[in-house]
Amino acid sequence: DRLEPRARVDLVRDLVVASDLRRHRHAPDFVVGPGPASFTLARHVRPHPGGRLLDLGSGSGIQGLLLAGPGDDVVAIDISPRAVAFTRLNADLNGRRRIRPVLGDFLAEAPDRALDGRFQTVVANPPFVLAPSHDLLYRDRPLPGDEVGARTVERVARALAPGGRGYVLCNWIDRGGEWSAPVRTWLRGSGVDVSIARLAALTPAAYAATWTRDVEPDNRATAAERWRTLLVAEGIGLIHVGVIAVSRPRLPRLRTRFVARDMAASPSPG
């Protein structure tokens, strides 16, 4: 005498987007639905109409649905078979026959050279959270430090065709100095143009509190302190959250151009 849903379904604009139920969010292969991170990334993207789009870390496939037209080719890559299945389901639900879900690891040590220089728009929302352990596939960093951000930006840049634009939502670590310096180091000499929009700057304590807020109340303080202690032990002063946009000039050049925009308030106390 009871009906129970197997998935969450959101209406986003004129799109129907299925994902995992929120109560399963601690499952390792949980597939997150449309939310603040996906909308933040999408707001910063200027897609090429009619161009090919690559979505790295596609999750439910929300970026391809939001940013590409019905006739545009989209390649959506995710390491999670469950995410690939949700992307395929959502493409079918919305009649997007040109979205192609692919199982793959775009953060592997060796890049997939078959993707190089083929896309007019590339987007990525990688698992960038600086968690003390890699428990949640969609969220927690599988690489040390902020290497996830560095590697993702590099993979996005290399996938761009001449005139193409790429966008990455990620964290980077500030161990002292200019806040944009780590990202500049990642891309120096790459020959792409780079625009860095910093959205927030968090101390280890504030960052820990943010990412442990859904822990059971009795365990929340302990979890937050564990996160904070490990972040401080890494020598982290601040953690920046932002969108990194890269564009590949139509004519190759050696010099990399940087523009940094600080949209963050003062660092959170803690």
Instruction: Quote the pLDDT of residue 110.
Output: 96
**What six digits make up the tokens of 252?**
């190759």
Instruction: Quote the pLDDT of residue 49.
Output: 83
Instruction: Quote the pLDDT of residue 36.
Output: 94
CA–CA distance, 54 with 39 (Å, rounded to integer) = 17
- Kindly state the DSSP code that residue 216 receives in the 8-state scheme: -
Quick check: 39 pLDDT over 90?
yes
Instruction: Quote the pLDDT of residue 43.
Output: 95
Please, what is the Cα angle at 138 between 224 and 147, to 5 degrees? 75
Quick check: 268 pLDDT over 80?
no
What is the residue whose two structure tokens read 């953690």? 239
CA–CA distance, 181 with 173 (Å, rounded to integer) = 10
User: What are the phi and psi torsion angles at 123 (to 5°)?
Assistant: -130, 150
CA atoms within 13 A on the CB side of 31: 27
**What six digits make up the tokens of 47?**
């897609």
Of 12-26, 124-138, 145-159, 244-258, least confident by mean pLDDT is 244-258
Average pLDDT score over residue span 110-122: 96
Q: Are 200 and 165 in contact (CB under 8 A)?
A: no
Instruction: Quote the pLDDT of residue 270.
Output: 43
Average pLDDT score over residue span 137-145: 96
- The confidence band for 265, taking pLDDT boundaries of 50, 70 and 90, is low
- The confidence band for 254, taking pLDDT boundaries of 50, 70 and 90, is low
Percent of the chain with pLDDT over 90: 85
pLDDT in tens, 45-92: 999 888 999 999 999 999 999 999 989 999 999 999 999 999 999 999
CB atoms inside a 10 Å sphere around CB 29: 14
User: pTM for this structure?
Assistant: 0.93
